Structure 1
């Protein structure tokens, strides 16, 4: 049984679709998710899933088209940092960010809204942590 109400689900669905189509920036995603009580969310590029979490542990999983074959075997933190910088400056939107992070060997990431950081993961267990811009 889900603890998500219909308003939360509608907003999460909208944020998911708009982000994946490149219509909204990361800061807008975060603002909207905070407004419905999302504490964190995880993106798994290999499975094509994004899972949103409430503070009570309830979760909502949405699927997108996975392309694990595009993910580089080697993790390159400099490439991840570059992709993040481009996204923060608005020069790339999420669809292009995903492609850049695949090339950097990123298999997914977790956004810790309360902790104001994102952890990007490699297939070998390497992690790059990026703090939200101030």
Structure 2
């Protein structure tokens, strides 16, 4: 990952944590920088961004409360809908998905979706609005 892309991913992490940016804006900036996908680990409070050539950058991000033991796809879905409707912001979104048992999520920019997962491997897949 080149230094420009590293700067972009670090800034997107900070901007998200500080609630200065929306998810569509993050996706746009990461796509422009050439990022292929990223992983948010809610347990370790880190995000890892991956380039198509296999290079990556890991950044620290804000910590969330421990995830609930049981995964609720409906709870994750409700948090996704609330953040999309701008009823909540990013930090509350993370709090709500953790309360729904989510321990992390993958976002694929090329695949235009996010995959939220629980401790036991349960998942909820959310396609980006307008994605097929």
Give the TM-score normalised by structure 1.
Answer: 0.92
- Taking the aligned partners of 1:46 and 1:73, their CA distance within structure 2 comes to 13
Query: Aligned to 1:16, which of 13, 17, 25?
Result: 13
Runs of 4+ in 1 over 4 A off after TM superposition: none
Q: Counterpart in 2 of 1:89?
A: 85
Instruction: State the number of aligned residues.
Output: 130
The corresponding residue for 1:103 is: 99
TM-score normalized by the length of structure 2? 0.94
- The answer to whether the aligner puts 1:34 opposite 2:24 as a matched pair is no
Alpha-carbon contact 1:25-1:90 (below 8 Å) kept: no
Unaligned runs of 5+ in 2: none
- In structure 1, what is the Cα distance between the partners aligned to 2:2 and 2:76? 35
State how 1:1-134 maps to structure 2 within 5 Å: 4-67=1-64, 70-134=66-130
| C-alpha RMSD over aligned residues | 1.1
